[in-house]
Structure 1
Amino acid sequence: MSELTSLTIAEARAKLAAKEIKAVELTDAYIQAIEAANDVINAYVTVTPEKAREMAKASDARYAEGKAGALEGIPLGIKDLFATRDVHTQACSDILNRFKPKYESTVTQNLWDDGAVMLGKLNMDEFAMGSSNETSHYGPVVNPWKAKGSDEKLVPGGSSGGSAAAVAAHLCAGATATDTGGSIRQPAAFTGTVGIKPTYGRCSRWGTIAFASSLDQAGPIARDVRDAAILLKSMASVDAKDTTSVDLPVPDYEAALGQSLKGMKIGIPKEYRVDGMPGEIETLWSQGISWLKDAGAEIVDISLPHTKYALPAYYIVAPAEASSNLARYDGVRYGLRVDGKDIADMYEKTRAAGFGTEVKRRIMIGTYVLSAGYYDAYYLQAQKVRTLIKRDFELAFHAGVDAILTPATPSSAFAIGDKELAADPVKMYLNDIFTVTVNMAGLPGLSVPAGLDSKGLPLGLQLIGKPFEEETLFKTAHVIEQAAGKFTPAKWW
């Protein structure tokens, strides 16, 4: 990791503004880092060096003119779910083979408008369906962290595994990501990075390939809390092209860092103490509670009684929406086409060849729960449970709780190709046990690194907030970060 690539966004921004370094110089350092590491880490599916250098040159010109934007010259990685004009955008699926959109997603356009530089597109689980980044058409991403005394390759989490791994390995200064049931927070926890899923509607979904439209939300993965705050400020906006985006002012999230926690109430939900949870996770949670108490917050026990239904309800709602959203991939207008004897045969062959196993599984589940005989029994019931989950949070917040502290994941990163998880998809789905409630209720959730387990692997704590109160999460996470310190993997790649 070079000196330049080890700079946080805040540090790089300061050096660029002070003319100590040039944007082209910083971008070149990242391009070299990617060239040296990507064959091993597999974080990028497309690297765009020419485009990056061109954008960096334009940034240097704006610095010279005194017209620098909020992210001027900062090199970022973009999850392959965001449409980037004339650049590979495939959701890491073969069904979108060679697709290059003629438009830019609103989130990435916001970043370019603020002067950010695009290094390339990041690997992910196919159509964001997965918790390990093993369902990608381009193969699994390798976590930059390794267990003490072991050479075993570990997953970075999913679906935003490429984003988390690239940030942890210093292959970009920060990255865009998306979260449908934990796909920002779980990989952040597995890689010792910070990830925030903002409130549903805080970031536009326009130009972001849809998985489950009522759950998907874009957010950043960054090296620390300050960088995550800087990135979210640029990513968030109202958007006339996305009617679910909310017309509220975007606060200066960075300004919330360092504010006092005195008078705050932090809720601890008893339902998150699940059977079989490792002792190390319990210890970490207790440590987090102590840090917040020492910072002046009041700790209160709360109940979120419908939490136990969240995972099954999520795995009905999300596949149902996915089966509807993914119906458009048929081989007619763009992407992969496998010829057949007639149009129906072409549809079937194209979809059979183009979608991976996990995506097919979820399409089948979704189609089943939406079918005439089962809609009321499954989908309608799941939506009712969703309302109850949302109400649980509303009652806790109404009782005076400002934020909720929970573990982010039930374990640290596991091995790529874990036989037990590969044989039982439901066991893999359990990785989302602490995160799915947040998406079901449309709330903001943040994962912050809080310690290492006995194997020397990072573990994260999750903070859940009230709608559009991301500032509360940033200031609370900053306290945990100050107490826990930052975590960087030892370089082996």
Structure 2
Amino acid sequence: MTLKEALKLNSEDIEKLKEDLKIKIKNSGVGAYIEQIENKEISSSGNGVPIAIKNNINVKNWELDCSSNILKGYISPFNATVVEKLQSAGLSPFGLTNMDEFAMGSSTESSSYGKTLNPIDNTRIPGGSSGGSAAAVAAGIAIAALGTDTGGSIRQPAAYCGVVGMKPTYGRVSRYGIAAYSSSLDQCGPITQNVEDAAILYDIIAGYDEKDSTSANIPYTKITPNLNSNKKFTIAVIDNFVAQASNEIQTAFNKAVELLKEQGHKIVHTNMIDTNKIISTYYIISSAEASANLARFDGVRYGARKGDGNLKDMYVDTKTEGFGYEVKKRVMVGSFVLSSGYYDAYYIKAQKVRSLIKAEFDKIFENSDLILSPVAPTTAPKFGSYSNALEMYLADIYTIGVNLSGLPAISLPVAKDKEGLPIGLQLIANSYEEQTLFDGALSMEKAVKYIK
């Protein structure tokens, strides 16, 4: 059942739907961890259409731990703005989904709950950090879900699991009540079964919020009433990006381009800044901001508290036992690049390169409406296939530039490889051009329908 169909149900049908989903969740083998707390009953906050919520989004009276031991036992006293908007629109938060600890990762393996399995192939990662949300939707145990995207964390798992994932323009969706990883990059967005459902859910959660200082105070026009798959666009292809993808990704990409041409869209070719510079810039900035944001988790106000000695021992013991390896690593890198003597050499330089990246996107959009790009260089890797952290970071080469530039983007499945694994491509639009983004995505969805 799609979100569009579910919104038409009466209250009795919605309750029956929730019971059916509970059975699916308990019987599913994908390890999506959609329970509020592992091994406890699935809870629902409200009487509306059930929507899965990533485990870093506050739901009042639910435990929120961001899949980290350091926040175990923390009960949220309030709803995030996106949750308030869901409830106002007749939707109901329905369990928290697994994620990489504090959203730091690309595989959902760094979770304190353990890994989430890809429902297409249980030997493969579902992507991250919103892997639990994508897996739940792909497995049919959630109608739709909310995720967060810091460097591709909605779009990459959506591509690996064969569903639709959308990252809004920075500032379009309130971050109030969402645990921060990297404040200048994070955005909340929908993960759904199709493009129209993504537009419906985006319309519900988007808009200005005075409680969020980064929220864009500009007029908002709903997308769904104006969806049009017949519009023709100029779509840019970044050739040096595509060249770094696997042969199967390139083949699917080229076929998608030909189908878009047949639909009447104009394709233009261009090049852009070296992806190595984009990766370096992203991990310097995101780690620096993570270092600042996670300083608050010290055992004093939130979650777990460790250590029986003095205050310093409590800080050390709480963070040593509470944070996982990936989080510790990024916090240490962030502290280093912000430290005296290195701030100018790394952090300031990264911010300058960030401006260059945004300028290059702006230049492309002078002559194009949309950009078509792979989401990841390969299909979903097997668990344990990354030999080092750098290989995992390289999986984000196509997605992180979008976050550095604050642009909207949407990932949708376009093909399957010879093993039946989904291949996703993404469309990128200029800031606040979500209508163009969804119209183009709807056109591509109708055109490709899984390329053979």
TM-score over 0.5 for the pair: yes
Select 2:19's aligned residue among 14, 28, 34.
Answer: 28
Conserved 8 A contact 1:76-1:173: yes
Aligned to 1:296: 264
Preserved CA contact (<8 Å) 1:291 1:479: no
Q: Is 1:456 aligned to 2:450, yes or no?
A: no
1:377 equivalent in structure 2 = 345
Q: Tell me, yes or no, if structure 1 residue 176 matches structure 2 residue 146.
A: yes
Which of 243, 247, 272 is the matching residue for 2:241? 272
The one-letter amino acid of 1:349's match is D
Aligned residue identity for 2:241: Y
Alignment map for 1:295-374 (pairs within 5 Å): 295-374=263-342
Residue 209 (structure 2) aligns with: 239
Q: Secondary structure at the match of 2:46?
A: helix
Instruction: Indicate if the aligned counterparts of 1:195 and 1:228 stay in contact, CA closer than 8 A.
Output: yes
Matched letter for residue 28 of structure 1: E
Structure 1 CA distance for aligned equivalents of residues 145 and 334 of structure 2: 30
Q: CA deviation at 1:273?
A: 2.7
AA aligned opposite 2:34? Y
Deviation at 1:50, TM superposition (A): 7.3
Paired with 1:33 and 1:45, the residues of 2 have a C-alpha distance of 12
Q: Give the one of 371, 384, 389 matched to 1:404.
A: 371
- Which residue in the other structure is 1:415 paired with? 382
AA aligned opposite 1:462: Q
Per the alignment, residue 441 of structure 2 pairs with 477
Q: Please give the per-residue CA displacement for 1:93-119, whole angstroms capped at 9, x wherever unaligned.
A: 001011111011011111111111222
Please tell me whether the aligned partners of residues 307 and 389 of structure 1 are also in contact (alpha carbons under 8 angstroms): no
Cα deviation, residue 231, structure 1: 0.4
Shift of 1:252: 2.4
Whether the 8 Å CA contact 2:150–2:185 is kept in 1: the answer is yes
Deviations 1:20-72 (A, max 9, x none): x62111111111111211x64233242686752x733xxxxxxxxxxxxxxxx
Shift of 1:248: 2.6
Pairwise CA distance, 1:13:
2.3
The answer as to 2:361 corresponding to 1:393 is: yes
After TM superposition, the structure 1 = structure 2 runs for residues 10-89 of structure 1, keeping only pairs within 5 Å, are 10-14=4-8, 16=9, 22-37=13-28, 40-46=30-36, 51-52=43-44, 55-56=46-47, 73-89=48-64
* Range 343-352 or range 478-487, more displaced: 478-487
* Residues in 1 aligned to 2:35 and 2:53: alpha-carbon distance in whole angstroms: 10
Rounded to whole Å, the distance in 2 between the matches of 1:438 and 1:290 is 24
**Where in structure 2 are the equivalents of 1:197-208 lying within 5 Å?**
197-208=167-178
What are the equivalent positions in structure 2 for 1:128-277 lying under 5 Å apart?
128-146=103-121, 153-262=123-232, 264-275=233-244, 277=245
Whole-angstrom CA distance in 2 between matches of 1:351 and 1:451:
43
Indicate the larger mover: 128-137 or 28-37.
28-37
C-alpha RMSD of the superposition: 1.7
Q: Return the offset for 1:84.
A: 0.9
Match of 1:424 among 388, 401, 406: 388
In 2, the alpha carbon distance for the partners of 1:118 and 1:317 equals 32
Per the TM alignment, residue 454 of structure 1 is displaced from its structure 2 partner at its CA by 1.2
When normalised by structure 1's length, the TM-score is: 0.88
Are 2:30 and 2:135, in contact at CA under 8 Å, matched by a contact in 1?
no
Would the aligned equivalents of 1:43 and 1:142 in 2 still touch at CA under 8 Å? Answer: no
**Structure 2 segments unaligned to the other structure (5+ residues):** none
Instruction: Write the distance in 2 (CA, Å) between the matches of 1:414 and 1:370.
Output: 33
Amino acid at match of 1:78: I
Q: Give the match's secondary structure for 2:36.
A: strand
Question: Deviation per CA, 1:374-412, whole angstroms, max 9, x where unpaired?
Answer: 1111111100000000000111112x2100001111111
Normalising by structure 2, we get a TM-score of 0.96
- Amino acid corresponding to residue 269 of structure 1 in structure 2: I
Task: Note the C-alpha offset of 1:484.
Answer: 2.5
Q: Which runs of 5+ in 1 are unaligned?
A: 1-6, 57-72, 147-151, 488-493
Q: Name the SS for the 1:300 alignment partner.
A: strand
Aligned partners of 2:415 and 2:423 also within 8 Å:
yes
Structure 2 counterpart of 1:61:
none
Which digits, 9 at most, give the CA deviation of each residue in 1:103-139, with x for residues without a partner?
A: 1101111111111122201100000000000000000
Task: Report the more deviating stretch, 381-390 or 473-482.
Answer: 473-482
Q: CA deviation at 1:192?
A: 0.5
